[in-house]
Every structure is written in C-alpha cells, then in structure tokens.
Amino acid sequence: MTRSDDQARNDWLFYVAGRMLSELGYDSVTNEMIAEAAGVDLSTVTEQYGGKRDLYMAVLKRAHWQRIERLRAVEAEYTADLQGLTRLLDEYLDLCLEHPELGAFWMQRWLSDASDIPRLDAMFGGPELGRVIEMVREAVADDLDAGMIMRMLTWSILAFSQKGIVDSKGERQEPGDPATVRRFRESLHGLARHLVA
C-alpha cells in the first residue's frame, strides 16, 4: 500500500468515524460499528487507530483546529465595531453550515455524551473562547455580559446549523435552504446592531 493509499484510508476512516460519532454520539457508537461502516477490520480500528476513544479525540481535535483557523483569520482583521462583530458572526455561521459535524459534536456533549472523558469542554473551549469573548467585549455595550452574549449567539448558530428553524406553520425550514439561511443571517446582523455600543 502506498503512502497516498494510507492517507486515503486515514481520511476515509476519520470521515466515517466523525460522521458516526457526531450523529449518533460517542456513547452509542462501538468500534465494531466504525469498522463495519468504514469497511475495515476491527483490528484496524482498535490497534492501528486506538479504538473509538482515540478516533473521537482525533476527530474533535481536527474540528477544533478548523474552527480556530477560521476564527484567527477573522481576528487578524477584526475591528471592535458593528462591521467586525457581523463578520465574526458570519464567519462562524458559514463554518457551522459547511461543517455541520461541529454543531453535532457539541450538541451531543450538551446531552452529556462522552461524559467519561474528563475535561473535554476545557480542552476544546477554554482559551480560544476567551479570545473571542475579549474581541466581542470591545464591540458590545458596556452593560452587556460579552461572555454570555457570545455563548447565546454560538448556541443559536450551532442549533440552526443542525436543524434550521420551525416556522409558524410547524414546518421545518432546513439549514441548507438559501432563503432560510439569509433570514437567519439577517436576524444575526439585526441582533449585532442592537448589541454594539
């Protein structure tokens, strides 16, 4: 097997494991399920990749670094005003729509998934979240709790990227629908206008 074949197999296994772990949750997925879905031997999953726990951590780290890279690109040009805040929100919305597994992982965590893995939230939140909160603090009105504002906006964006919205007729408007995305984005921008000092 060539290096490119190994890389292709690695990418495929991480993709399959990521989809399963984000959609079904860490607690519901087994090594056997990952092996079967990826079309590899169980020993490949357990011995070569360390099993579902190591795969879970590797997939989470990849997702975390995708988020960090995008947010740091925004930070490099960030201005503490309405334009800067809207760009930050737009970038995070775009990231979550492009990679819905990000939201799925955190929604699973909020339901206490993988609770036997200590300090997950600290590993993948902590300092980076603090950086974003400091950016937002400079833009929002002084009487607002920037940390809570950012968490509320983040939760809303993550939830929207998973399931869209349910309209007043009880029909789901999917996050892949351009009109629904446009409406959500415009509402985010409207909130940003009210938040800025």
The whole-angstrom separation of Cα 19 and Cα 28 is 13
pLDDT score for 2 = 64
Rounded to whole angstroms, the Cα distance separating 180 from 148 reads: 25
Distance, CA of 35 to CA of 44 (rounded, Å): 8
Digit-by-digit pLDDT tens for the chain (197 residues) are 566 777 888 889 999 999 999 999 999 999 999 999 999 999 999 999 999 999 999 988 888 888 888 888 999 999 999 999 999 999 999 999 998 888 888 888 888 899 888 888 777 667 778 888 999 999 999 999 999 999 999 999 999 999 999 999 999 999 999 999 999 999 999 999 999 97
Cα separation, 195 vs 32, in Å, equals: 48
Q: What is the reported pLDDT for 3? A: 62
pLDDT on residue 10: 85
Tokens 């629904």, located at residue: 180
**Radius of gyration of the chain, Cα coordinates, nearest whole angstrom:** 19
How does DSSP assign 98-129, residue by residue?
A: H-HHHHHHHHHHHTTTTTTSTTHHHHHSHHHH
Identity at 67, one-letter amino acid code: R
